[in-house]
Amino acid sequence: DPGLVWVGAGARLKDIYTTLWKEGCLFSGGGCSDVHIGGLAQGGGWGPISRMYGMTCDRLVAADLITAKGEHVRANIDGSGSLRALLWALRGGGGGNFGVVTNYCFRTLPWPGEYTDFLLTWCDEDFRINVPNLEQFVLHWFQTFPLKTPNRLTTFLRLSVVDSPKGARAVIGGRFLGDEDETKAVLAQFLAGQAHWSGEQWNPSPKRETIPESRSVDAAQWDAVGRRLASLPGYQPGPALIGEGF
């Protein structure tokens, strides 16, 4: 079926991203390249294009699994009865509760254009010499970015409790479905009046022609592209040790 892709439960995000990007498609996966699709999809799956295309589970249309009775079944969103209900349960509420999923089927997202990943950092000094302060800055992000920015922009905000003179107190990172100039213009508009960042990083999407035919041809290049596609600069879903992360 055109527009659908079947993925094994143990597939890593970087391999899924790379395979689909080579074919001109995006994947609404997570932001950590080595995460496997099984746990991500059944747990919901926030990722770098979630505001535009939803979470990973929103793209799930079918799944093969072994039930607690040892039966092999296929749950399908277009099905009926208990199997259709089972698919809906797996879309973010699974977590291994309804059986062992062996394969997932997702609806793909054609995207012939480009995107830009970014990372902006603020240190304590930035908030001392600028107004508004850190508290007002955080409140602005909560009130503005989820509600008033284009859906093509997905962001995360990180705050550090470590008082390090050279460390980043606040970080805003994410992905914008557009080129670097447009990304900078959108962020400048919605951060207007806030303390200006002291550190910045802009990463354009990788060129599709740089992807080898398969991982067996050039594993190092395949993995390098996959990490760029499936990772966000500065994104750390759990606590980071001092000196880690940004």
* pLDDT value at 162 more than 80: no
Q: Which of the pair, 5 or 240, is modelled with greater confidence?
A: 5
Question: For residues 33 and 94, what is the distance between their CA atoms, to the nearest angstrom?
Answer: 21
Q: How confident is the model at residue 244 (pLDDT cuts 50, 70, 90)?
A: very low
Q: Is the pLDDT of residue 129 over 80?
A: no
pLDDT digits (tens, 9 = 90+) for 41-58: 888 888 999 999 999 999
- Distance between CA atoms of residues 28 and 25, nearest Å: 10
Q: Look at the block and give the residue holding tokens 């001092």.
A: 242
Which tokens in the block code for residue 179? Answer: 């080129």
pLDDT for the residue 242: 47
Mean per-residue pLDDT, 169-197: 94
**What Rg, from alpha-carbon coordinates, does the chain have?**
20
pTM: 0.87
Give residue 236's pLDDT: 74
Residue 54, burial from CB neighbour count under 10 angstroms (0-12, 13-18, 19+): middle
Residues 29/56, Cβ–Cβ less than 8 Å = yes
| 224 has a pLDDT exceeding 50 | yes
The values of phi and psi at residue 8, to 5°, are -70, 150
